[in-house]
Amino acid sequence: MLEIGFGTGLNFILTAGLANQHQTVIDYVAIEYNLPPAELITGLLQNNAPQHSTLINTLGKLIATETSSVPFSFNEFITLTLRLENALQAALPKASFDAIYLDAFSSKNNPELWTANYLQSLHDALDNNGILTTYSVNRSFKDALTEAGFDWKKHKGPPGKREVITARRYPQRN
Ligand SMILES: C[S@@+](CC[C@H](N)C(=O)[O-])C[C@H]1O[C@@H](n2cnc3c(N)ncnc32)[C@H](O)[C@@H]1O
């Protein structure tokens, strides 16, 4: 699992909580170039996802003490690799992720992460049938997804988001 834009880690904590609940192994790689301080992250997460306080405390300790991008195991299910770098320059392994959260700022604020060119690099990082998901549904972004080779669909969003998109990598043809 890859996330572009770790921010305050809410996506990570909610995903890790589900991995625990379903006893599913998750290898989460997140890229972030402006990581907020540990106290800010844990404070916000404790407010927004208090049911995951054990995970939040562990994440807070990790961020306060360790900023290298070494995989860190929370338990037998959850591993987090936090890569503190600019996503635009971050080398991504090919065909390696089942899912990607594209959660950078909006296409208005940092358009460079929403172009067909950048989406193509995310497409290549996904495994066959891997899925990218994001909250941007504007016309130019959907066109860029199509150009990058994704098969996308709109869905009703969670509270606070009218719509979200899932975009599937086409299986490679031999
Ligand atoms: C909407 S917030 C992410 C929220 C986060 N996913 C969460 O669940 O709390 C967007 C994040 O993307 C990061 N970001 C924006 N452009 C980036 C880039 N080029 N490289 C790495 N991180 C970037 C910002 O620093 C910010 O933290």
* Mean local confidence (pLDDT), 98-119: 93
| pLDDT band, residue 67 (cuts 50/70/90) | low
**Residue owning the nearest CA to atom 2 of ligand 1:** 7
In three state form, how does the secondary structure of the chain look? CEEECCCCCHHHHHHHHHHHHHCCCEEEEEECCCCCCHHHHHHHHHHHCHHHHHHHHHHHHHHHHCCCCCCEECCCCEEEEEECCCCCCCCCCCCCEEEEEECCCCCCCCHHHHCHHHHHHHHHHEEEEEEEEECCCCHHHHHHHHHCCEEEEEEECCCCCCEEEEEEECCCCC
**Distance (Å) from CA 173 to ligand 1 centroid:** 33
Pocket residue to mutate for ligand 1, from 45, 110, 122, 132, most atoms within 8 A of Cβ = 110
pLDDT number for residue 136? 87
- Inside any domain, residue 133: yes
Q: Which of 38-47, 50-59, 92-101, 104-113 has the lowest mean pLDDT?
A: 104-113
- Mean pLDDT score, 14-29: 98
Residue nearest to atom 26 of ligand 1 (CA): 7
* pLDDT tier for residue 144 given thresholds of 50, 70 and 90: very high
pTM for the model stands at 0.95
* Assigned domain for 43 exists: yes
The parent domain of residue 74 ranges over 2-169
Q: Is residue 54 part of a domain?
A: yes
Residue 174 in any domain: the answer is: no
Task: Provide the CATH number for the domain around residue 90.
Answer: 3.40.50.150
Q: Would you say residue 71 has pLDDT above 50? A: yes
Q: Domain count of the chain?
A: 1
Residue 86 lies in a domain: yes
